[in-house]
């Protein structure tokens, strides 16, 4: 069978780490390829790593066809949803995939002709939710909106070395978003220095941000408002004092009744 590999589709699948690849290779050699590879026409759309290993070791495999897609874009959206549903995908990978889906959906909607208001016959977009807010993307990726914001920052400003470090788990998303604010040379040096160097770089960025953050100015109250606030505080203290005196009298009475009066 002539199976085609589309490089653009292949890019939607993050490469396995050496440990993950070795584990999959051992499993396929021991148990065989139990899950069928999925093809769209003659293009592979699911099972790229299994196909590579099976071809390498002449391990038999099955294929199934999913020809329900009208375009390559439909295949991309299906692949993204397929990966988002997998528990083995990290928060960073899910965030990147969800942001890709947002771009695809936005491009698709931009190509559609404008619909007149009240047109009930207009085709519904099955890629809803609308994907026009960070909350939509975060919900699909099962992370917080703040995490999506950090991933966007990493995607825009991080060097390839830093993106690879966060993808493999050498640095957290939060720390990587901070390191991504450094010049490229410093990012590369931090990655080369290992986990401790990355954490130190992230800490330095956080401290610099705290140091440059303007201090909160003291709010000046109107004299009458300030006087009213002081009177309220005094009244509260008087009530508290009265409660304490009452409690003290009760305790003394209980001690006296028990014959343990300290007077």
| Alpha-carbon gap, residue 223 to 184, rounded angstroms | 53
In the predicted model, what is the mean pLDDT of residues 26-42?
Answer: 95
The Cα-based distances of 197 to 89, 116, 146, 167 in angstroms read 26, 56, 24, 17
CB atoms within 10 A of CB 225: 10
pLDDT band at 136 (very low <50, low <70, confident <90, very high): confident
Q: Is the pLDDT of residue 123 over 70?
A: no
pLDDT digits (tens, 9 = 90+) for 231-263: 777 877 787 787 778 777 777 777 776 654 443
Query: Do residues 154 and 180 touch, judged by C-beta distance below 8 A?
Result: yes
For helices 195-212 and 184-192, angle between their N-to-C axes, nearest 10 degrees: 140
In the predicted model, what is the mean pLDDT of residues 120-139?
Answer: 63
Helical (H) or strand (E) element with 203: helix 195-212
- The mean of the pLDDT values for the chain is 83
Dmax (CA) for the chain in angstroms is 103
In the predicted model, what is the mean pLDDT of residues 222-232?
Answer: 67
Q: Is the pLDDT of residue 174 over 60?
A: yes
In the predicted model, what is the mean pLDDT of residues 191-220?
Answer: 81
Say what the pLDDT of residue 109 is.
Answer: 81
Highest mean pLDDT among 54-63, 226-235, 244-253: 54-63
How does DSSP classify residue 46? Answer: E
> 78-92 burial string, b = 16+ CB within 10 Å, else e?
bbbeebbeeeebebb
Say what the pLDDT of residue 241 is.
Answer: 81
* Secondary structure percentages of the chain, helix, strand, coil, to 5: 60, 5, 35
Query: Do residues 166 and 91 touch, judged by C-beta distance below 8 A?
Result: no
CB atoms within 10 A of CB 249: 10
Structure tokens at 135: 């909350």
What is residue 78's three-state secondary structure? helix
Say what the pLDDT of residue 217 is.
Answer: 53
Residues 6+ positions from 46 with CB-CB distance below 8 Å? 37, 38, 79, 82
Q: Which of 1-5, 56-60, 146-150, 223-227 has the lowest mean pLDDT?
A: 223-227
Q: Is the pLDDT of residue 117 over 60?
A: no
Say what the pLDDT of residue 235 is.
Answer: 77
pLDDT digits (tens, 9 = 90+) for 70-86: 999 999 999 999 888 88
Q: Which of 22-26, 134-138, 154-158, 254-258 has the lowest mean pLDDT?
A: 254-258
| Alpha-carbon gap, residue 156 to 148, rounded angstroms | 12
Burial environment of residue 181 by CB neighbours within 10 A (0 to 12, 13 to 18, 19 or more): middle
Say what the pLDDT of residue 3 is.
Answer: 94
Say what the pLDDT of residue 133 is.
Answer: 78
């Amino acid at each position: 069978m002539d199976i085609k590999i589309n490089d653009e589709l292949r890019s939607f699948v993050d490469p396995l780490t050496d440990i993950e690849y070795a584990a999959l290779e051992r499993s396929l050699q021991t148990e065989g390829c139990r899950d069928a590879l999925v093809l769209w026409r003659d293009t592979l759309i699911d099972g790229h790593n299994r196909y590579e290993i099976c071809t390498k070791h002449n391990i038999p495999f099955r294929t199934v066809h999913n020809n329900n897609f009208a375009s390559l874009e439909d295949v991309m959206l299906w692949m993204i949803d397929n990966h988002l549903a997998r528990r083995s995908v990290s928060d960073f990978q899910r965030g990147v995939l969800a942001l890709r889906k947002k771009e695809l959906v936005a491009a698709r909607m931009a190509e559609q002709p404008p619909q007149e208001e009240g047109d009930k016959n207009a085709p519904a977009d099955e890629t809803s939710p609308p994907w026009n807010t960070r909350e939509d993307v975060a919900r699909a990726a099962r992370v917080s909106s703040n995490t999506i914001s950090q991933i966007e920052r990493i995607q825009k400003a991080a060097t390839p070395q830093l993106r690879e470090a966060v993808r493999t788990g050498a640095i957290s998303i939060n720390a990587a978003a901070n390191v991504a604010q450094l010049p490229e040379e410093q990012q590369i040096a931090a990655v080369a220095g290992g986990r401790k160097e990355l954490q130190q770089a992230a800490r330095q960025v956080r401290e610099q941000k705290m140091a440059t953050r303007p201090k909160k100015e003291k709010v000046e109250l109107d004299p009458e408002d300030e006087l009213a606030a002081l009177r309220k505080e005094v009244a509260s203290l008087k009530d508290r004092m009265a409660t304490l005196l009452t409690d003290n009298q009760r305790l003394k009475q209980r001690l006296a009744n028990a014959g343990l009066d300290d007077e």
